[in-house]
Amino acid sequence: MLNLEQKLDEFKKMGVYGVQVFFGEDIGCDDIGDSLYERRLWVLGVPVGCLGSARVLYKGTLQDFLSFDFKKNKPKILSNPPKNIEREEGEWFIWGTDEGVDAVLKRWYRE
């Protein structure tokens, strides 16, 4: 299994920049008793060539992120702007203008 640095590099090499990583709970230490790999992780980025027109987000646990296959799993398309990402089911998301989302999906998944 890849480590976090390797997985983030893989994410960037897909064509994502401006990557931001959020690890653990928002406020407090509610997850301090949880295993490192079971803690919440969000990875947000902007696909290359889509500044202002598309964003992508992975949300799950660190363990799931390290084994997630971005090439085989298309992101779920959310409304623009997303209504409540916290409640969305799934791990991998994209949102933005119709043109931006279409361009990313065609480039990454050869639709």
Long-range contacts formed by 18-21: CB under 8 A, 24+ apart: 18/45, 18/46, 19/43, 19/44, 19/45, 20/44, 20/45
Count of domains observed in the chain: 1
Q: What phi, psi does 27 have (nearest 5°)? A: -130, 140
Summarize pLDDT for 93-104 with one digit per residue, the tens.
999 999 999 999
Domain containing residue 30: 4-109
* Confidence (pLDDT) at 52: 84
Q: Mean pLDDT per segment of 10 residues, for the chain of length 111 residues?
A: 91 95 75 79 93 93 95 95 90 96 93 57
Question: pTM value?
Answer: 0.89
